[in-house]
Every structure is written in structure tokens, then in C-alpha cells.
Amino acid sequence: MQGIDELKKEIEAADCQSKDELEKFRLRFIGRKSVIGDLFARIKEIPPEQRKEFGQQVNELKNLAQNRFQAMKEKLESQDSGQEAPPFDLTLPSAVGVPGSLHPITITRNRIIEIFEKIGFNVSDGPEIEDDWHNFTALNFPPNHPAREMQDTFFIEKDPDIALRTHTSSVQIRVMENQQPPIRTLCPGRVFRNEAISARAHCIFHQVEGFYVNENVSFVDLKQTLFHFAKEMFGPDTKVRYRPSYFPFTEPSAEIDISCNICKGKGCNVCKYTGWVEIAGSGMIDPNVLTNCGIDAEKYTGFAFGMGIERIAMLKWEINDLRLFTENDIRFLEQFKPF
């Protein structure tokens, strides 16, 4: 009992002024091999009639030590927080960082924008969550069109008229609703479709939509615009062809192919041994779309085109698996440098 009283006085008198002194206090009185731990181990040596009183005294000593430790710890922490940080030494040499690299999708997107900006296109943006009007109806999609079905589109469960946009053509509608011709703009962005993920498809990918509306815009303007893009992006030896197609929002419509830059038109697995690779869909904007946006279809005409940024990147760098763009493998990403 006399030893407990002496330890009690020592604990009460303790006044640690540093973290090192506090740690010594913890090891002496609170740690597993502390003097209080030794007292608990000696309970079995105490006569049975005195064990209860001895145990109570040791417990009180333990609580006293823990409370004293916590009080001194809080005091030291409050002192540290009140101290001013040492000034920076501006004479020290700076750390040399390793420059990072842009994502290949970003590099490709920037290059596409750069090419079209040189021929008068600006850049427009719009929301990724769209209503039915901007994503389908205003673009001349009929009510029974397959794109409106659940197997193709991610609809918002609480509102069937709201969905993740399936193409950046929705931005075209928003721009034409708020501007009068002449309009010449590019709409890059992320789009979503309910597709199985594979080497050639993904449920999240990137598109760029471009359109031009003015008086006397013709299909020849569209052809020359895309011809210029193909030569700038893939090289002067690239050949371009146009195939008739169908899209609800353009009439007439065409798909654009370029000569395969991997096999140089001789045939390979990328071009399916045809020598040609599709890069975009295009056409003259349907008069109904212009009317839906408040533009006089009797006075103005326009063309539109859309292409997948991933597809352009895959052709440019000869990448054979679409999934590589979203796996964030640093070994893959660090290979790319701006064009």
C-alpha cells in the first residue's frame, strides 16, 4: 500500500514538457510492462482478505495515470497548434518533377478541335443528362425508334423522359435553339449507350459532333470539310469515300470511310480485309430538325457529322482494344505524346 501511495504522488506531480517525456511517462505507468502492470500481476501474492482492497487501489492508480497522461497530451497538442510554422527557405533547390502525359483521348480530342478551329468552327458543350426532346424528338427520331428502347439507352429510373445522352447531337439542338445562322460549331463530349463492353465497344465513350448551318450550304461543303479533316488527321495520302446511309436527323445521309492507315489499303484484321475503315456518319440536316429549333428551313440549310474519338485514336495509334482507354494502366498511358 505504501508503494501505491508513492506512485500516486509521482503521477500527480508529473508535468511532461515534450513528447519524449510523455512517452516515458506512458511506458512507466500505462504500458503493458509498466509498474502498474506489475502491481496487477502481484495480486495473487496478496493475502485473500486484502486482495479486494489492493485491487481497488491499483485500479484507482491506473485511472489516475491514464487521466494524467491524456491531460498532458492535450496540453502539448494545443501548444504545438499555436506555434507558427517555420518560414520556407527559398534558397533551397526545387525538386525536379517528372512531367506527366495526357490521356490519348484528350490528345485526340484536342487535335480534332485544332483541325476544325482552323476552318472556322468553334466549340460548344451541353449536359450529359438529357431530356427526350433534345436527345430524340427534336432530332427527328420517331416514337417507335429502337434507340428509345431500354436495351440501347440508360434512362433515369424516376423519370422515363430523362436519360444519359446517347450522342452529342443533343448539343446541336441546344445551340440551334439559342442561335440563329450562320452557325459553325463542334460539340465534343462523353456519351452513353447500353452496350456490352468488348474490344470494339463500350457503354461509355466519346464523340464529336460538328455542324454548319447557313444559306446555300450543300453536300459539297460537307464532303470538302471531311476530306480536309481526313488529310490533316491521317496524312496527305489518305483516301476518303462516302457511302449512302440513313440517320433520322440527316437527309441525304452518308458514312465516311478512309483508307486503312495500318495496312495502307491492302487489307488487314482492323479493316476486315476491305482496305477501308469507317470513321464518321454525316449528312444534310433534315429540314424538320431546323424547324424544331426555330430556324427557317426554307432559307437555311446545313450539314452535320459525328465521329467517335476512340475510333480516331485507335486508327491513329494502331490500338486494337477499346478497353485500354478506360483501364488506367500507366504502362499504356505514358506512351502517348501530343501530335
Question: Is 111 among the domain residues?
Answer: yes
Burial of 29 (0-12, 13-18, 19+ CB in 10 A): buried
Question: Is 10 among the domain residues?
Answer: yes
Same domain membership, residue 195 and residue 253: yes
Same domain membership, residue 314 and residue 207: yes
Distance CA 238, CA 316 (A): 12
Place of cell 491499483: 58
Same domain membership, residue 161 and residue 310: yes
Residue ranges making up the domain that contains 202: 104-333
Is the per-residue pLDDT at 195 higher than 80?
A: yes
Same domain membership, residue 59 and residue 166: no
Looking at residue 194, its pLDDT comes to 85
Same domain membership, residue 135 and residue 12: no
Question: Is 116 among the domain residues?
Answer: yes
Question: Is 339 among the domain residues?
Answer: no
Question: Is 63 among the domain residues?
Answer: yes
pTM of the predicted structure, to 2 decimals: 0.68
Is the per-residue pLDDT at 84 higher than 70?
A: no
Mean pLDDT of the chain: 87
Question: Is 21 among the domain residues?
Answer: yes
Same domain membership, residue 152 and residue 24: no
Question: Is 97 among the domain residues?
Answer: no
Structural domains counted in the chain: 2
Which of 17, 47, 81 terminates a domain? The answer is 81
Cβ atoms of 16 and 79 within 8 Å: the answer is no
For the stretch 114-160, pLDDT in tens is 999 999 999 999 999 999 899 999 998 877 766 666 557 888 876 77
b or e along 156-174 (b: 16 or more beta carbons within 10 Å of the residue's beta carbon)? eeeeeeebbbbbbbbbbbb
Is the per-residue pLDDT at 307 higher than 60?
A: yes
Question: Is 127 among the domain residues?
Answer: yes
Cell of 141: 427520331
Q: What is the CA radius of gyration of the chain?
A: 36
Same domain membership, residue 291 and residue 155: yes
For the stretch 239-267, pLDDT in tens is 899 999 999 999 999 999 998 877 777 77
Q: What is the CATH number of the domain that holds 157?
A: 3.30.930.10
Same domain membership, residue 266 and residue 191: yes
**Helix, strand or coil for residue 223?**
helix
Cβ atoms of 287 and 280 within 8 Å: the answer is no
List 247's β-bridge partners, or say none: 250
Compute the Cα dihedral for 151, 154, 158, 162 and give only its sign.
negative
Nearest to 323 by CA among 315, 334, 312, 332: 332
Same domain membership, residue 68 and residue 173: no
Average pLDDT over residues 308-331: 88
Q: Quote the Cα angle for 32-34-51, to 5°.
A: 95
Is the per-residue pLDDT at 177 higher than 90?
A: yes
Confidence of residue 81 (pLDDT cuts 50, 70, 90): low
Same domain membership, residue 163 and residue 57: no
Which of 49, 81, 113 terminates a domain? The answer is 81
Same domain membership, residue 126 and residue 33: no
Which of 39, 66, 81 terminates a domain? The answer is 81
Distance CA 184, CA 120 (A): 7
Same domain membership, residue 70 and residue 205: no
